[in-house]
Structure 1
Amino acid sequence: MVDFTLGEELEALRDSVREFAHDVVAPVIGDYYERHAFPYDLVRQMGKMGLFGLPFPEEWGGMGGDYFALCIALEELARVDSSVAVTLEAGISLGAMPIYRYGTDAQKHQWLPKLTSGEALAAFGLTEPGAGSDAAGTLTRAVLDESTDEWVINGSKAFITNSGTDITALVTVTAVTGTNPDGSKELTAIIVPSGTPGFTVQPGYSKVGWCASDTHELSFDDVRVPAANLLGERGRGYAQFLRILDEGRVAFAALGVGLAQGCVDESVAYARQRHAFGRPIGANQAIQFKIADMESRAHTARLAYYDAASRLVNGRDFKRQAAIAKLASSDAAMLNAREATQVHGGYGFMNETPVGRMYRDAKILEIGEGTSEVQRMIISRSMGL
C-alpha cells in the first residue's frame, strides 16, 4: 500500500514553518523585496528554528532530519515568499551540503557548525558568465603552487546566491586544474573563504525576481588558498557537483510547488472577497475552473517531488525523478503565477501584492539549478534516447 501521509514529526515541522511564514515572513517581506534588501532578521530566526540544520546529523550541529524534511520546510516558506525560501535552499543544498558530502573531518569541524546553525552562509560557485548549463565550459583556473602549497585561482563566477551577505563565510568554486587523459578539462572544487585577498564580490544584480535574496558575480585575481582547501578529490569536482545539483533539484522542486500552491491560496482568498456584478468572482465557473486547474498542477508537482525525495532519502536512484519533479514544479509555478495574476486583475500587476511578487519570482524556476531544457535532456537520456 502506498501512503502519502506525512508522519507526526514532518507534520509538526510543516505546521511550525507554515506559522512562521504566515505570521513572521508575510507581514514584512514586501518591504524587503521593494528595497532589494537581504532579510537578515528572518534568516537569523530560521537559524534559531533549526531550519539550516534540517538534513544534517546532530554531530555537525544539525537536526538529524533528511532532504524530505528540508523539502517540506521549503514548500511552506515558498507559499509565502521565494526569496526567503531560496536563501534556505541554497544555504543548505548548495552551500553546506558539499562540505558535508565531500569535506574532510577538519573542513567539517571548521565550517559545518556555523552553517547548520544559520550563523553563517556558504555559496556554490559553478556558473560563469560563459558557462551555465555547460559546466564543462568552465574557464576559471586553479594552479597548485608547490613552493607555498597553495592553490592560485583566477577567473569569475556569475549569478551566485548567498555569496555577498555579511554572514557569507565561504564560496566553493569549481576550477580547471589540468587536463584529463581523454583531453577534457580536469575540474576540481576548492573552498575560498570570504575576505581572501584577490576574491572580490561584485555589486548585487538588479533582478526581475527574488529581490530579497542575495546574488552576485564573483571575481578571483591571483586568489591564494591552502592546498588543504581542496574539497573532495582533485579532478572530481564536476562529478561531485552533478550529485549536488541532482539533490538540489529535489529541493528546488519543493520550492516551485510552494510558489504554485501560494498562487492557489491567494487566488482562492481573493475570489471569495472580490465582488463583481453583485457577487463574488469565485461564483463564476470561469474562475472556479481556472483555480481548479491551478490546484491540480500544484498537487501533481507535489507528488513528483515526494517521489524524488523519498528515493533520495532511501538510497535509491533518483536522478530522473529529480529532473521530472523540477520540470513539473517549474511549469506549475509559471502557469499558476500567470493565472493568479489574471484572477487578481489589476491588483495582480502590482508589485506590493503577493501574486505580483510570485509572478516575478516564478520565471527563474525554469532556469536555476538546470534549465527546463536540461531537465528534458536528463529525462530523455535516462530512457535510452
Structure 2
Amino acid sequence: MGLHRLIGRLAMTPFSKALPAMGDTERAALEAGTVGFEGQLFAGQPDFDALIARGPNRLTDEERHFLDHEVNTLIGMLDDHAIDKAGDLPPEVWRYLREQRFFGMIIPKEHGGLGFGHYAHAEVVTRIATVNTACAVTVMVPNSLGPAELLLRYGTPAQQQHYLPRLADGRELPCFGLTSPHAGSDAAAIPDRGVLTERDIDGRRVRGFSVRFDKRYITLAPVASVVGLAFQAVDPSRPAGQQELGITCALLPVPTPGMEIGHRHRPMDSAFMNGPIRGDDVFVPMDWVIGGEERVGQGWRMLMECLAAGRAISLPAMGAAMQQTALFVVNGYGQVREQFGLPIGRFHAIAGITAQMAARLYATDAARRYTAAALDAGERPSVASAILKVQLTEAGRRAVNDGMDVLGGKGIIAGPRNLLGVAYRHAPIAITVEGANLLSRALIIFGQGATRCHPFVLEEMGAVQAQDPERLGRALVGHVGHVMRNLWRSLAHAPVRGHPPADLRAEARLLTSLSARYALTADLAMGLLGGKLKRMELLSARLGDALAALYLAAACVWRYEVEKDPTMLPVARAAIRLQLHEAATLLRDLYANLPSRFLRAMAPMLLHGTGHLAPLRDREALALADALRTQPALMRWLCPDVSRPKRGGLLDLMLALEAARALGDEVPELNKALRRAGSLEEVARGSRNPEAALAYLRAAEQVIGVDEE
C-alpha cells in the first residue's frame, strides 16, 4: 500500500466527521465563478507580477462618448430633492432612459443593446448615483441580476430573440422575484412551489408548472412588464424522495392570470420602485422557463453564476458614489464654512476625518477598478465580488456618517440644500440587499473563500465525498507542506514575489508577510474547529474581513502602478497602511477569541511585527488633508465621478468652489465679510474682481444656509 493511500485511509473517518456537510445548493454556490488574485492572498503567496499584469481599465470610444454625452445629459435632468419628494422619476427621465437604452447596457449590439463592458457599466451607475440614488437603482437593476443576464447566458434562441431587443430599447422593463417572506438570507430555501402539470391552451396540451408564490422587496416590480421568477419545481408523478426538481427560473409577462403586483414598498422612503409580487395557481408553460425544459432545476446554479460577477458591479458602484460624494462635500464644505475665524477643514478633528475618508476611498475604488478589469478579461471572481459588495457598501455608509458629523446642523435639516441627507437615509439599503453584509462576511467571503481560494481544501472535500483514500492522502501531504511553508514565512521571512512599484516596495513586503500569516491562521482555525467554524460566525467574519483588507491593499498597489501618477503616492501609502492595520487588528482579535489556550499563547510569536502597522500618523493625516484642500487636481483624481446635478445643495457647493478658485487668496477676507452679514453687493464692490466676489458670496451663502418651510 502506498504512503498516500495509507494516509488517506487513516484520515478518512476523522475528516468525514470534521468537514462540513455540503448540499447541492451550497455546492452550486461554491463552484460558481472563478478564483483570481484573492486566491494567492489566501494561499499566502501573492505574486505582484500577476497582480500588475491585469492592466488598467479601458473604455471604448463608444463607452466614453456615452459617459460624456448621454450620461451627462441625464444627470443634468436630475433634481435629487424633487425626485425624492415626488417619490418617482419625472416622466421625461423615464422616457430618456428608454430612448438612450440605459436599460440595455449589458445586452450585445446584435440584440439591440449597447454592448458595454463591466467597467463602463459600473462607471455609468457610479456617475448617476453621485447625483440621484433612485435613478441609479432604476438603471442598475435591469443591467444587474435579472432576466437580461440570465437570458444571455442560459436562454433559448427563441427567448433571446423575443426578449433581448425589447429589454434593450425599454419596451419591456424587468424585475426579478427571488426573496420570499420566509426565505430572506436563506434564499435557497424559498417555499414558492411550482407543480409540474399539463393544461389545454388554444386547443393543445401544454406542459408547465402551476406555481404559487409570494415575493417581496422586488425592485422595479410596480412598473415591470416582465417578471423573472425563481421557484421550487416539483414533479408529483415521481417516486417519493425524487419529486423535488430544484430551483427553477422563469419569465412571466405582465399581466399573467393569477399573478398580482402588490402595493408599493418604500425602502427608507426612497423614490425608486419596489414592491411585492404574489401568485396563486399561476400557469408557467415550459417555454417560459429560462433555457427551456432542460434548465428545470438549475436555477440556483444559474443565479449563483450570475451573482459571481453581478455583486462586483452595481452595489459597489453605489458605494463608490457615496464615498466620492461624501469626500467632495466634506472637503468642499470645510473650505467654505468658517468657525472661530478659520475654515473648519483646517481644524484637526475634521482634517483627520477627511484624510481617513480619502485613504479609504482610494483603497475601495482601487479594488472596484481592479475587479472590473478582471471581469472584462473574462473572469467571474465570486469571492472578490462578495468582498466588493461588503466593503464598498460599508465604506459608503461610513463616509456618509462621517460627512453628517462634519456638516452638523446643516446635514440634518431636510430640503433641497441638504448635501447628504438623502444619501444618509439610503445607506442601509445597499447594506441589506444582494446578500446582507452580516451573512456575506462570514458565509460567502470566508466560507466560500476557504474552499475555493485554498489550494487544498476543495480537493480534500471532494476526496472525502468520493471516499477516495489515495486522492485524500495526496491532498493532505500537499496541505501539510503548505502549512509548514506559511509557518516559516510567518516566523522568518516571506520573500516578495514579482516586482511591485519601487515606491511601494516596503508596503508590498508588509502585505506579503501579512498574507502568509493570514494563510497560516486560516489553516489553524480550520484545523482546530473543522466544520464548527462555519457556525462560529464571529470568528469566520473576522477571517473574511481580514482577507478583504488584504485584497484592498493589493488593489492599491495595482492602482498606483497602472495609473502612474507619483502625486498620488501619499494617498496610496496611507490607503495600504490603513488596510494592513485593519487586517492585523482582525488577526489579533481572532487569536484572542480562538477556543485554544495554546494558539492564544502562540499569537504574539505568530503575529510579531504587526503591532507597528499604524495606519496614519497624525502628521501624515494633517498633511494629506492639507493637500486635498489646496490641490484641486488631487480631489478630481479621487472623485472623478462626482457630477453636476440640475439643482440643489451639491450644485451650490460646486459653484462656490469654482468661484473661490477664481478669487484665490481673497476668499478668507470675503468669508469674514460674509460672517458680518450686511450687503453682499457692498462687500463684493471692495474686491479686485467684484463680479467673481459676488458670485462666490451668493454661492457660499447658499452652501451655509438651510431650508425653511
CA deviation profile, 1:169-212 (whole Å, cap 9, x unmatched) = 21111111128978876111111111112111111113215x11
CA deviation profile, 1:228-249 (whole Å, cap 9, x unmatched) = 0011300001111112222221
* Mapped pair 1:68 → 2:119: yes
Shift of 1:147: 3.6
CA contact (8 A) 1:136 1:185 kept: no
| Residue aligned with 2:279, SS | strand
- Matched with 2:228 is 172
* Mapped pair 1:305 → 2:305: no
RMSD: 2.3
Change (3 A) 1:197 1:262: same
Aligned match of 1:23 in 39, 51, 76? 76
Structure having the higher strand fraction is: 1
* Mapped pair 1:196 → 2:249: no
CA contact (8 A) 1:82 1:259 kept: no
> 43-52 or 116-125, which moves further after superposition?
43-52
- Matched with 2:246 is 186
* Mapped pair 1:248 → 2:298: no
Largest Rg, 1 or 2: 2
> 191-200 or 350-359, which moves further after superposition?
350-359
> 198-207 or 45-54, which moves further after superposition?
45-54
CA deviation profile, 1:93-140 (whole Å, cap 9, x unmatched) = 123222222211211222211211234310111111111121121011
| Residue aligned with 1:366, SS | helix
Change (3 A) 1:118 1:284: farther
TM-score of the superposed pair, with normalisation by structure 2: 0.51
CA contact (8 A) 1:144 1:227 kept: no
For structure 2, the 5+ residue unaligned runs are 1-51, 201-205, 452-525, 527-709
Runs of 4+ in 1 over 6 A off after TM superposition: 179-185
2-structure distance, mates of 1:379, 1:373? 11
- Matched with 1:206 is 266
TM-score of the superposed pair, with normalisation by structure 1: 0.91
* Mapped pair 1:133 → 2:192: no
CA contact (8 A) 1:93 1:247 kept: no
CA contact (8 A) 1:304 1:324 kept: no
CA deviation profile, 1:236-288 (whole Å, cap 9, x unmatched) = 01111112222221122122111221111222232222222223222223222
> 318-327 or 265-274, which moves further after superposition?
265-274
CA contact (8 A) 2:219 2:273 kept: yes
1-structure distance, mates of 2:57, 2:308? 25
- Matched with 1:97 is 149
| Residue aligned with 2:225, SS | strand
| Residue aligned with 1:310, SS | helix
1-structure distance, mates of 2:308, 2:157? 24
| Residue aligned with 1:270, SS | helix
CA deviation profile, 1:11-30 (whole Å, cap 9, x unmatched) = 544434662464222xx231
- Matched with 1:239 is 301
CA contact (8 A) 2:150 2:306 kept: yes
Change (3 A) 1:169 1:332: same
Change (3 A) 1:121 1:329: same
Aligned match of 2:403 in 340, 345, 354? 340
1-structure distance, mates of 2:403, 2:241? 53
1-structure distance, mates of 2:409, 2:358? 22
Shift of 1:307: 2.3
CA deviation profile, 1:281-332 (whole Å, cap 9, x unmatched) = 2222322221222222222111212222222222224111101111110111
CA deviation profile, 1:353-383 (whole Å, cap 9, x unmatched) = 2400111111111111111123222221213
* Mapped pair 1:365 → 2:425: no
Shift of 1:157: 0.5
Paired positions, count: 380
1:54-65 paired onto structure 2 within 5 Å: 54-65=105-116
- Matched with 1:350 is 413
CA contact (8 A) 2:245 2:296 kept: no
CA contact (8 A) 1:79 1:263 kept: no
Structure having the higher helix fraction is: 2
- Matched with 1:162 is 220
Whichever residue aligns with residue 362 of structure 1, its letter is: A
1-structure distance, mates of 2:319, 2:73? 19
Whichever residue aligns with residue 215 of structure 1, its letter is: N
